[in-house]
A and B are shown apart, each in its own frame.
Chain A
Amino acid sequence: MKKSKRRLVIVYAGLFIFYAFLLLPIVWLVLSSFRNTDSIQSGRLLPYPSELTLTNYVEAFRIANLTTFLVNSFIIAITVMLLVVFIASLGAYALSRFRLRGKNIFMMLALMPQFFPYVLILIPFYVLMSNIGLVDSHLGLILTHTSITLPFALWMLTGYFAAIPRDLDQAALIDGCSRLGVLFRIIYPIAIPGMVVAGFFAFVVSWGDYLFVSILSQSPETQTLPIGLQTFMSSLQVRWGLITAGTVIAIVPTIVFFAIVQRRLVAGLTAGAVK
């Protein structure tokens, strides 16, 4: 009894250390985004209630092109998410259900890009995109983010689909369901948890990408939030109230999405590797 109590204290103390470190930057950011400038610069850890304000959020939208960045980020990340899940699910269905020549070679080829340095790929990507006139366009960024997230999504979903019993497809085929019908009516409903994780992965990568957008996007019409925040950070030097408010706005969508998929995330992310 006494021993288990001591154990409890050790576990909570350990968790407290890890989670204080994990949550401190986030809590400090969110708290500061509601403080006025004087309060942030006061050198006090906690604000007085009278110093709390929503001005930073109002100003962040008014001063910076926050709305444009948000809209661009949403257009690109959501399209990438849908495109990646759709294309990967077709490919995963083919790889898990059809006898295809060169399947193993293809699976290896599909895994290799995970190791390629993005700074290297970016150079031919830029040349390619300028050849086909897609520099500084939503479509160019959508294609780019789709191509960098597809290999992993394909791997993950192939593992996921392979675990679904084939008897289900056979039964549906005998009942007169078409091959494509099997995918949409039998496999999709069962594989939804895996597809949501694959989609979440694509969304998070696209939403957070700075490297590719910084080169392939050249005007505010196509720039996404990470570029916006970086410009914010370098141009508004001392106005940390605005910077923190902008950052909170940028992280809310990923956190909401994360809250939905959280329980399946780790199983999904490592499933592709384990298969």
Chain B
Amino acid sequence: MRAREQEAGSFTQDRKRNLAARWKSFGQASFGYILLAPALIIILGLNLYPTISGVLTAFTNQSLLDPFNWAFVGFANFQKLFGDPVFRISLVHSLVLTGLAVSLQVVLGLILAHLLIEQVPGIQFFRSIGMIAWVLPIIASVVMFRFITLPNYGFINILLNDLGVGHLARNWFGDEKYAFVLILIMHLWRNVPFYAISFMAAMQAIPSDLYEAARIDGASNWRQFYHVTLPNLRYIILVMVVLHVTFTFNNFDFVYLSTGGGPVNSTEVLPTFIYKQAWNGYELGYASAGGVLMLIVLVVLALGCRKFIGGFSEE
């Protein structure tokens, strides 16, 4: 900053010095570009290029069996997608899962944040271990959930037997009705504490006189929450929602590793559907078309969240 001001001042006084200063500032800027180069190369070369290439692949008939021999086929892959019942059911599952997971995460996250913000003895312990599920490899979480829901000796079924309601015990992941619920529960298990701890941090930053003023005006706890807490959390809520809409909608591991999309497609989501088209069906072009549609849906969802939460908070 300062160097720049000096540079501007010298312009009227001494052109020669100005030229030297500009040369120096160019030298500095180019050094900046050199520092940025490795990151630039990786982001352009290994993030943007593959994505653009993926979008182009969506319009080809590229196959994994002969990946270097392909032709453009226009919108054929997209037409095929819309006619594919498994694609349609995967899209519905993905949307339902994302909608349910994120809205429940916000509600449960807000509740847990209100508990974690209480200065009760031992609260530091609860705050510190909250994020533990978030850091675990997803395969490890899947092993845990498969293990507690095992039909014969899983924790849940043993507990149901011990409580005398053994007829409720079942093969949870193998059951068409419950497998999807379990996927949803795993998403909640992993991410609710992350929401809660972020919300709590934002709540601690809300000035306490706002609450005092509300109390003097006779506002109930519920109204204080609605008129003070919620508006002040709108930014962090937006950040967490956009982050997790993306995470949940794109997540492949939870479904693929726990149910593989079954039983009978009851948990199939877009990422697992696309993965199977590419790597089991060898149809790279067709799979890419699915990926492009995912990308479009995701952008629409992210913009929608922004609009909804932005508008909601202004009331």
Contacts and interface: CB of A to CB of B under 8 A. Distances in A.
Contacts of A151: 43, 47
B295 A116 contact: yes
Nearest to B236: A270
B137 interface: yes
Contacts of B168: none
A18 B112 contact: yes
Contacts of B135: 204, 254-255, 257-258
Given A98-B32, A229-B140, A29 B54 contact: no
B120 A208 contact: no
Given A98-B32, A147-B47, A267-B201, A40 B153 contact: yes
A133 interface: no
Contacts of A42: 153
Interface stretch (A48-56, A60-68, A105-113, A188-196): A105-113
Number of chain A interface residues as a range:
35 or more
Given A100-B32, A120-B292, A270-B239, A28 B144 contact: yes
B150 A240 contact: yes
Which of A21, A93, A97 has its CB near the most chain B CB atoms (within 10 A)? A21
Interface residues of B, number: 95
A21 B108 CA distance: 13
Interface in B177-212: 189, 192-194, 197-198, 201
Contacts of B1: 166
Given A26-B144, A91-B40, A258 B288 contact: no
B252 A114 contact: no
Interface string A139-156: 000011011101100100
B11 interface: no
Would you call the interface of chain B mostly helix, strand, loop, or mixed? helix
B128 A15 contact: no
A266 B193 CA distance: 10
A243 B143 contact: yes
B35 A211 contact: no
A50 B135 CA distance: 33
A121 B115 contact: no
B113 to A, nearest CB: 11
B293 to A, nearest CB: 10
B252 A45 contact: no
Contact of A21 (B129, B158, B189, B271): B189
B36 interface: yes
A263 B128 contact: yes
Interface stretch (B222-230, B272-280, B304-312): B272-280
A165 to B, nearest CB: 12
B252 A211 contact: yes
B74 interface: no
A254 B252 contact: no
Contacts of A226: 137-139
A115 B120 contact: no
Contacts of B292: 120
Contacts of A229: 137, 139-140, 143
Contacts of A263: 128
Would you call the interface of chain A mostly helix, strand, loop, or mixed? helix
Contact of A247 (B2, B35, B140): B140
B36 to A, nearest CB: 4
A144 B46 CA distance: 8
Contacts of A176: none
A225 B120 contact: no
Contacts of A211: 252-253, 275
Contacts of B139: 208, 210, 225-226, 229-230, 247, 250
Nearest to A148: B47
A273 B239 contact: yes
B302 to A, nearest CB: 7
Given A124-B49, A210-B257, A250-B140, A262 B291 contact: no
Interface string B22-65: 00010011011101101110111011111101100100000000
5 contacts: A123-B291, A226-B139, A255-B135, A255-B136, A266-B198
Interface of B: 1-2, 4, 25, 28-29, 31-33, 35-36, 38-40, 42-44, 46-51, 53-54, 57, 67, 111-112, 115-116, 118, 120, 126, 128-133, 135-141, 143-148, 150, 152-153, 155, 158-159, 161-162, 189, 192-194, 197-198, 201, 235-236, 239, 243, 246, 249-250, 252-253, 256-257, 270-271, 274-275, 278-279, 284, 287-288, 291-292, 294-295, 298-299, 302
Given A29-B143, A115-B298, A266-B131, 7 more contacts: A25-B145, A45-B159, A119-B270, A120-B292, A229-B139, A243-B143, A255-B132
